Amino acid sequence: MPLSGAVSVAHPKAVLIQNSIDVSWQAYGAKGTAKIWLATANNMTAGETDTYQLVGEVPVAKQHLLIDVKDKPSGFYKIIVEGPYNAINRWAINEEKN
């Protein structure tokens, strides 16, 4: 979250529910689109760049997106919610895969 300037999304949550991730956030303003990005590897630990895939676009005011990950098995998921003015991130840990 930025320390100054406009904010469109905040307080991200990501909850694994069987083969889906329930992603939610708090919207500040009703205008604009939220892009939801997903990465299934933590390449940053090896000094490399993470590869994110766009998995959905919804109105910011919807404050929610359910992501199907049954074809993306992983021990954890990195999620970015990109609003018009800022982006926020959250990890979802899959305890069964760790």
Find the CATH number of the domain harbouring 48: 2.60.40.10
d(CA 52, CA 56): 12
Note the pLDDT of residue 6.
86
How many domains does the structure of the chain reveal? 1
Note whether residue 67 is domain-resident: yes
Position 34 in a domain = yes
Residue 3 lies in a domain: no
In this prediction, residue 42 carries a pLDDT of: 83
Q: What is the pLDDT of residue 54?
A: 98
In a domain, 65, yes or no: yes
In a domain, 75, yes or no: yes
57 belongs to a structural domain: yes
Per-residue pLDDT tens listing for the chain (98 residues): 555 678 999 999 999 998 999 999 999 987 899 999 999 988 888 888 999 999 999 999 999 999 999 999 998 899 999 999 999 999 998 877 65
Amino acid in the structure at residue 20: S
- Give the pLDDT score at 4: 62
Alpha-carbon span 77 to 84, nearest angstrom: 23
| Domain ranges, residue 61 | 9-93
3-state secondary structure of 29: coil
